[in-house]
Structures are given as C-alpha cells and as structure tokens.
Structure 1
Amino acid sequence: MDSPILFCRVLGPIDVAIEGVSADLGGLRSRRALAALSAADGAAVTDEDLIEQIWEDRRPGNVVQGLRAIIWRLRAALGSEAGSRYLHRGRGGYALAIPEASTDRHQLPTLVTGALHHLARGRPVEAVTDLEAAVALWRGEPWEDLGPMPELTGIRSGLTELHDVAIEELQAARLAVTDPARTAPDTVRAIAALTEAVVHTPYRERRWELLALALYRSGRQAEALSSLRRIRTTLREHVGIEPGPSLRNLEQRILRQDPDLLLPAAARCRC
C-alpha cells in the first residue's frame, strides 16, 4: 500500500499535513525538533544539535531521554507508516527525509522559476497561476519556530527574496494578460497588491515601476507620475541614491505618453 501523502510547510510556523490534514505536532519543543530536522533538508542532525535547538540553555537532567520521547511523539503524530518512513535514525543522528516536492521550501523556487519561464515566452496566464500558488505558500519567516539561527540566515534570506520576486512578478504577469475579460480585474488586483507592497518594502524599485505602469494603464497618469516622484524622494532622502535606469526611463515614457506602454486596444481598460 502506498504511504500517506505528506507535505511539510516551513515558510512560517512548522506544519505537516497527512493527506491534507494537519498533524498535531504537540508543544513548542516538539515543533522545534521537527523544524530543526526539516531545516537540515534530509541530512542527519546530531543529538547534541537537536538538544540545543529544543532546550537551548534550559536542559533537563534527563535530556537524552527527553529527546527520545519527543521523537517518539513526532513519529506518532505523523502516523505509524509515515513516521517510520520519513523520520528515522542513522549513524549521524535523526533525519527527516521528505521528497523535495512535498515541501514548501522547494516548491517555492520551482513555481517561481516556472513562472518566469512562462513570462519570458509570452504566457502570462500560466505565469499568474504559478505565481499565485507561490505567494500562497508564504505564511511568515521560514522556520519561525526556531528563532534566530546564524546557520539559517542565508537560506532564509534567499527564500524571502524569492517571495519578494513572486509578489512583483505576479503583478507583472497580471499586467501582461491581454484577455479583455481579465484585464480590468487583473489590473485592479495588481494596483492593490503593489500599493501594499511598496509600503512594506519601499526600496524595491521593481514594485514602484510596476505600480506606475499599472496606474498609467488605468488612465491615472498623474498618480503614476506621483508614485515615481515618491520613490525618487524616498531614495534620495533615506538611501542617498537616484532611481535606477528602469524607473527613469518609465517616467520619461509616461511623460511623452508612449503608446507602447499600453496593451493592445482590445485589452485596454480604465480601472
């Protein structure tokens, strides 16, 4: 009989679903143990490293026995079949061996890469589908249960960057859709998402570029130019730099009302 379908989510609090139902992972220590194992990406984690992540500097006297009890509870939470298959002990320690396709940390780059491939080949509708799925994976800081860990800094930064790219390129894909039935609602969604995005990360110029383009395509030229002035002021006052060439070029094209900024006539809308 096939093993139960298991999916591990680490883009936020740790969560494991068996056939679509979240497993009861127990308290903070059990969650930390599973998060530490998932962060190892299938490699064995020594008892000492697990103990440090679970208890930090508040170790009980019977800490090894406590670790064994946590592993037993995690296996029980995953189910007898999945627990024994995916969470096992090797020579180097315990390992959580889950296929990459069954983890959100690996699904995220796969979806973003696929979407960029679609965009480069003029398939924005397919890109929208992939990027909406990518954005939906994000629930917070990767491995939130573990707190600050220097060894996770690089991968957390990489995943956060992928999430930022997914947000931006989702709006780019929406703005590239030429189906007249979708243009208006997609543009409205893009403007709303980008208006929020530039508040959360005001120094990412790609977001301002897409926002200005979306506003211009909606017949809101003054607002588009105002948004470009805002980012210029923000960069000058807070970072001490001028906007990059993409933003400067877009401003000039809007000022001269470059027709190439608009979609084909049949797909245009006023939102």
Structure 2
Amino acid sequence: MDSPTVLCRVLGPIVVEIDGVPAELGGPRSRRALSALSAADGAVVPDEYLIEQIWGDVPPGNVTSALRGIIWRLRAALGPQVGPRYLRRGAGGYALVIPGPLIDHRQLASRVAGAMRHLDDGHPSWAATDLAAAVALWRGEPWEELGPAPELIGIRAHLAELHDVAVEELQAARLALDDPAHAGPETARAIAALAEAVVATPYRERRWELLALALYRSGRQTEALAALRGIHERLIDDIGIEPRLSLRTLEHRILRQDPDLLLPAPVRAARQHNDR
C-alpha cells in the first residue's frame, strides 16, 4: 500500500490533509495541541508547554491522562499510517515530525525563493506560477489557534513578509508577461490585484510602484501620477518619511513620458529595498 500524501496547513486555521482530504482534528483543545506541535518545527514540545497551550491556567485534575487522551485522538484522526509515524513521544514531551516540504509555511518560503530565481533568470511565466501558488497558500494568521504567542512573533512576521513579497512580485511577473507598449490581460489583472493590495497594506512602496507602472503602460498617466503622489503624501503625513528613490524616479520618468518605460526590462529592476 502506498503511503498517503500529507499536507499540514498552518497559514491560517490548522488543517492536516490526508490524500487531499482534511482530517477531523476534533475540538479547540486538540487543534491547539496540534498547532503548538507544528510550530515547534519537529522539536519535542514539553508536556508542560502543551498543557499550558491547551488548558491555560485551569488544567483538569488528571492532566497527564487528559493530555495523553488528546494525543491519542489526534493520532487516530491522522490515521494508522500517519498518526504513529509523524506524532511521536520524545523525552518529556511530544513531537510532530512532518517533513518540511509537507508543511505549507515551508512551501511558501520555497515557492517565493524559486520564483525570485526565475525572475532573475528572465522567466516570468515560471515565476508567476510559483508566486500564484505561494499566494494561494495563505489563509490567515499562522498558527491562529495559539493566539498572541510571543514566541511566534518573529516567525509570523517573516511569513507575513514572504506573503507580501509574493503578492507584489506576482504582479511584477504578470507585467513582464505583456508587451509593455500594448498592455494586455496580464497587466489588467495586475492593476486589479495591486489596487486591492495597496488598500490592504498601504505603506508598502513596492506595490504602489508597480501599480503606477501598470497604469502608465495602460495609457492612464494621470492615474499613475495620482497614485505616486498619494503615497508620497501618505508617507510624509503619516510616518514623516520621503518615498524611496525608485518611487521618486518613476514619477519623474512618467512626467517626462520616458519611452524606456514602454520597453521590456528586467522584472526586478525596480525592486530596490535600500535605495533611500
């Protein structure tokens, strides 16, 4: 019998898919336990920490037996081929040892890294495929069941940044798929996505830069300039900083109708993170 295909999804409410079908993980306590185990990235999670995550400050009387019961139910939910294999007892705790490629936050990082290489190598269609897959993985706050969890602040911020980069560079790849002088359907898709993206995260300058470029290539110079001036004013009024150099340069180029803006260019030429 072939081993089942497993995917642990933690970018949002926790889900474990077995051969594409979500396992019945049970109630909030079981889900918090599995979330805490998955966040440990294969390391043994001490019983005491699991108990705290599951019951907070009010554990049941026979908490050791209660914890074993939750682990037993999780193993049963994952099935006889997956539960005992991946959910193991270690020294003083339990570990979820699902390999990295079978966890969605690892897939997110891998997809984005691969797409950046494709962009650098001049393969925007391959990059768009990887980036669209990366964006689709995101369903909400990673390890949602664990609440604020100070120990997860760093990794959550890192994953959110990867998601933001994927959203932006997907639109950059789409722009590269159209003839810059004759904006087509990919540019229209990029404009629609970027219009939503700048509302969702208004201080990320990369998405404003791409939106302005896409609008200009679509013959909407006035709207492109309005977008750039809008983020300029927002950054100064709200944060007290000037837009980065690439944004200011793009505004000047649009004003003088630089013909090079309608020529194919490396997808990431404008992606400068330290150009202030």
TM range (shorter): over 0.9
| Aligned match of 1:212 | 212
| Aligned match of 2:57 | 57
How far apart, CA to CA, are the structure 2 residues paired with 1:121 and 1:81? 41
Alignment RMSD, CA only?
1.3
Q: CA deviation at 1:2?
A: 3.4
How far apart, CA to CA, are the structure 2 residues paired with 1:161 and 1:93? 32
Contact between 1:178 and 1:263, CA under 8 Å: does it hold in 2? no
The amino acid across from 2:212 in the alignment is: A
The amino acid across from 1:81 in the alignment is: Q
**What SS does the aligned partner of 2:81 have?**
helix
| Aligned match of 1:269 | none
How far apart, CA to CA, are the structure 2 residues paired with 1:179 and 1:239? 36
How far apart, CA to CA, are the structure 2 residues paired with 1:179 and 1:144? 42
| Aligned match of 1:45 | 45
| Aligned match of 2:227 | 227
Q: CA deviation at 1:3?
A: 2.2
How far apart, CA to CA, are the structure 1 residues paired with 2:165 and 2:188? 19
Contact between 1:112 and 1:134, CA under 8 Å: does it hold in 2? yes
| Aligned match of 2:159 | 159
| Aligned match of 1:143 | 143
How far apart, CA to CA, are the structure 1 residues paired with 2:3 and 2:239? 53
**What SS does the aligned partner of 1:17 have?**
strand
Instruction: From the superposition, tell whether residues 179 and 251 of structure 1 become closer, same or farther in structure 2 (CA, over 3 Å).
Output: closer
How far apart, CA to CA, are the structure 2 residues paired with 1:231 and 1:91? 53
Matches within 5 A, 1:128-139: 128-139=128-139
How far apart, CA to CA, are the structure 2 residues paired with 1:164 and 1:72? 38
How far apart, CA to CA, are the structure 2 residues paired with 1:67 and 1:263? 62
The amino acid across from 2:135 in the alignment is: V
| Aligned match of 1:87 | 87
Q: Deviations over 1:62-103 (max 9, x none)?
A: 111111110000000000111010001012410000011101
The amino acid across from 1:50 in the alignment is: L
Q: Deviations over 1:228-266 (max 9, x none)?
A: 0100110111001111100000001101111111146xx
How far apart, CA to CA, are the structure 2 residues paired with 1:132 and 1:183? 20
How far apart, CA to CA, are the structure 2 residues paired with 1:15 and 1:86? 15
| Aligned match of 1:184 | 184
| Aligned match of 2:195 | 195
Q: CA deviation at 1:207?
A: 0.7
Q: Hey, which of these two has a bigger chunk of helix by percent?
A: 1
| Aligned match of 1:168 | 168
Contact between 2:183 and 2:218, CA under 8 Å: does it hold in 1? no
TM-score normalised to structure 2 length: 0.93
How far apart, CA to CA, are the structure 1 residues paired with 2:234 and 2:188? 25
How far apart, CA to CA, are the structure 2 residues paired with 1:178 and 1:190? 11
Q: CA deviation at 1:183?
A: 5.4
| Aligned match of 1:121 | 121
How far apart, CA to CA, are the structure 1 residues paired with 2:235 and 2:70? 50
Paired-residue identity, %:
71
Instruction: From the superposition, tell whether residues 147 and 254 of structure 1 become closer, same or farther in structure 2 (CA, over 3 Å).
Output: same
- Please identify runs of 4+ aligned residues in structure 1 that moved more than 3 A: none
Q: Does 1:98 align with 2:62?
A: no
Gaps of 5+ in 1: 265-271
Q: CA deviation at 1:4?
A: 1.2
Contact between 1:177 and 1:183, CA under 8 Å: does it hold in 2? no
Q: Deviations over 1:138-174 (max 9, x none)?
A: 0000000110111110000000000000000000110
How far apart, CA to CA, are the structure 1 residues paired with 2:189 and 2:100? 31
**What SS does the aligned partner of 1:80 have?**
coil
Contact between 2:128 and 2:174, CA under 8 Å: does it hold in 1? yes
Contact between 2:127 and 2:170, CA under 8 Å: does it hold in 1? yes
Instruction: From the superposition, tell whether residues 183 and 218 of structure 1 become closer, same or farther in structure 2 (CA, over 3 Å).
Output: closer
How far apart, CA to CA, are the structure 2 residues paired with 1:164 and 1:196? 12
